[in-house]
Structure 1
Amino acid sequence: MSLLNSIDRPHVLTAIETWDKAGGANYMLVRGGVSTHVLLHGGREYDAAAIMGIAHGLATGRTLTPADIPGGGAGATKALVRLGFQVRDDSPPAERVPGTRARAPRTPSTTPRASGVRSTGTPRPTRVAASDRPDKLCPTCFIALPATGICDQCD
């Protein structure tokens, strides 16, 4: 069972009230950072991890720091969304290392992909069946050359 499963919606609402009464707007200045997971409630923005830490304290008696929350800000976001809150993720997109799978699921694009073209923009080598290849022609009489490559007519 996750640490955050004990938190209910009323705990989060009380944590938001506690945050506002304590002057939590200065929290990020004290913490010395920028929140990448922002809880949006009542036209205001809150640090999602900090609110979940306070809400955990209200639910269990033990307040969590953002570092104690399983999954950090992303874990807090997941729990808040589960409880019906709106959260904005301002974290920068993770760079994909070549040869690894993408972290986010792919979404279908609105424009069809051209066949034979890689996502990197380099053309994909296409294989052509031997029966579909054009015949080699004699440069003199323009008749198809036999497998030997020597024209029977021009010899």
Structure 2
Amino acid sequence: MSLLNSVDRPHVLTAIETWDKAGGSNYMLVRGGVSTHVLLHGGREYDAAAIMGIAHGLATGRTLTPADVPGGGAGASKALVRLGFDIRDDSPPTERVPGTRARAPRTSTPRSTGSSTPRATRPARVAASDKPVTLCPRCFIALPATGICDTCD
């Protein structure tokens, strides 16, 4: 059983009120505004892990710091989504929590409905530094463009 299963919606709402009364908006400034999991409630934004830590304290008597929340911001986001809250997930796409939304809606590129003719393939470009170097078979020094070793011949 997860530590966060003891938290109910009323605990989170009370934690939000406590946060607002204590001037929690300054917390984001002190912490550097780096929260990637943001609780959206009443037109305001809250650090999801911090609110979940306070809500856990209301539910169990043991307040958690954002670092102590199981799963961090992602764990707090999952628990808050389960309780019916909106979460904005600003983490990179590979780390997104299901059920949360990104800062801006993603747009998909339209698929072409044209003919299915294959495209002409271009030859792969290779940087000059990535081309294999030809070595002299006797002294193993790189050969110049002439192909004749300056050291051996």
The 2-side partners of 1:39 and 1:14 are apart by: 14
Deviations 1:35-74 (A, max 9, x none): 1111000011100000000000000000001111111101
Q: How does 1:1-155 map to 2 (within 5 A)?
A: 1-94=1-94, 111=111
Mapped to 2, the partners of 1:42 and 1:2 lie a distance apart of 28
Q: Deviations over 1:19-43 (max 9, x none)?
A: 0000000001222341111100001
Cα deviation, residue 94, structure 1: 3.8
TM-score normalised by L of structure 2: 0.62
Q: Distance in 2 between matches of 1:35 and 1:59?
A: 23
Q: Cα RMSD over matched residues?
A: 2.9
1:60 and 1:31 map into 2 onto residues whose CA distance is 25
SS of match in other structure, 2:88: strand
| Secondary structure at the counterpart of residue 63 of structure 2 | coil
Q: Deviations over 1:5-31 (max 9, x none)?
A: 000000000000000000000001222
| Alignment partners' CA distance in 1, 2:74 and 2:112 | 33
- Deviations along 1:87-114, one digit per CA (max 9) or x if unpaired, are 000112349xxxxxxx99xxxx873899
> What SS does structure 1 have at the residue aligned with 2:92?
coil
Instruction: Give structure 1 regions of 4+ aligned residues with deviation exceeding 4 angstroms.
Output: 112-115
TM-score by length of 1: 0.61
Unaligned runs of at least 5 residues, structure 2: 99-108, 123-153
1:111 counterpart SS class: coil
Percent identical among aligned pairs is 84
Aligned to 2:125: none
Q: Which amino acid aligns with 2:8?
A: D
Give the Cα–Cα distance (whole angstroms) in 1 for the partners of residues 77 and 94 of structure 2: 17
